[in-house]
Amino acid sequence: MVRALARVNLAAIERNCARLRRELRDGAELAAVVKADGCGHGAVPTARAALAGRATWLAVATAAEAAELRAAGLDAPVLVMGALSDEELPVALRARADVVAWDERFAARAAELAAAREGPAVAVHVKLDTGMGRLGTRDPAQARRVADAVARAGELRLAGAMTHFATADEPGADDGFFEAQLERFATFAETLRSEHPGLLVHAANSAATLRSAAAHFDLVRCGVATYGLDPFHQDPAARELEPALELRSYVAALKPSARGESAGYGRRFVAERDTVLGVLPIGYGDGWRRGLSNNAEVLVGGARVPLVGTISMDNLTVDLGPAPSAGVGEPAVLIGAAGQERITAEEVARRLHTINYEITCGLTARVPRAYHRDGEPA
């Protein structure tokens, strides 16, 4: 029994990737996005599981994340999607990662560093901002100039063209913005590919992959769906996805509470009747956010019980009722299933007015990750 434990089913990740591969059209490949420590699931184990599930690429946000994958012996193509400073770029190049460019200065710096070392040409993907409003140039002509600069540099290889969707996860509520982005990018990519044959064209995140086959191009970049989380923030089962992570704790103490007695900082729970509280040794220091105070449920003994009072750094309390069947040592499930009940990351996210990604990414390093395959040790 440990105070907090995240159990990750690698077999579920394999099946999720296989399910996503079945969705793809016209030979498109799957990149598993394992940034942010595999969205809280653990980058290296989940990357291995994704590749076993027939992902052929891995994608990350930082140079250090690429280096971690290489240090673990993973040899699949790795794309660093994020911005790279002059200090970070050499780390990415040593990791044999593909990098992303949207201005000529970056391309020149990459060529300079590549020329100073032995090895194959550095693979560069040019990014067009079709509406996300973050990285990438909004100007297709500028993106073509960057592509031409990369293609001219002997130390570089123009490998791909990419964009990112802003509203793919909001079907029916984006007023056609997704379709407009898709059209802008398709026009750009067609022109660029005619000038530079052999480009790998990619745009789709998990939501776009499941929303429109027209967004698949040559490669899709799936993060949230890889882990069995619903990119549309509803129910993963409706998308044939299996949540890979469950979060567990246990009842460390029973606290009989008479009517009028309180629990937690600020006395935000006061018993309205005689009851028994269960103290779980997990809190916001583990990533179980304080915003869930008086605003969540936990599975104890296979039944839902309310989380009551203010969540502290190391503990929270649940109301077990006046005659609880659970005792000290009873397992508690914060994300996952027990008996006929289940609590999804999507449910927790809705309570916090956020997204499922933030729930799993927010689990801190203090929570150990235990890996298994359908219950068998991994």
Does the active-site annotation cover 35? yes
| DSSP sequence for 348-370 | HHHHTTS-HHHHHHT--TTS-EE
- At 123 the three-state DSSP class reads strand
Identity of the amino acid at 130: T
Angstrom CA distances, 57 to 47, 207, 209, 211, 377, stand at 9, 18, 15, 21, 26
CA pseudo-torsion sign 145, 202, 106, 110? negative
Reported as type and span, the H/E element at residue 124 is strand 122-127
Does the active-site annotation cover 284? no
How many residues are listed for the chain in this entry?
Answer: 378
Name the residue with tokens 């104890």.
Answer: 300
Which parts of the chain fold into alpha helices (H)? Answer: 10-23, 35-39, 43-52, 63-71, 89-94, 104-115, 140-152, 177-195, 206-211, 345-351, 356-361
The set of residues, in sequence order, having a beta carbon less than 8 Å from that of 307 and lying 6+ positions away, is 292, 293, 294, 295, 296, 297, 298, 316, 317, 318
CB 62 within 8 A of CB 88: yes
Identity of the amino acid at 38: G
Task: Determine which one of 35, 127, 227, 357 is catalytic.
Answer: 35
Task: Determine which one of 127, 227, 250, 265 is catalytic.
Answer: 265
180-219: b (≥16 Cβ within 10 Å) or e: ebbebbbebbeebeeebeebbbbbbbbbbbbbbeebbbbb
Residue 167 region, left (φ>0) first, then alpha (ψ -120 to 50), else beta? alpha
**Rounded-to-integer distance, Cα 285 and Cα 311, Å:** 10
**Largest Cα span, the chain:** 77
By the 10 Å C-beta count (0-12 exposed, 13-18 middle, 19+ buried), 311 is classed as buried
Catalytic residues: 35, 265
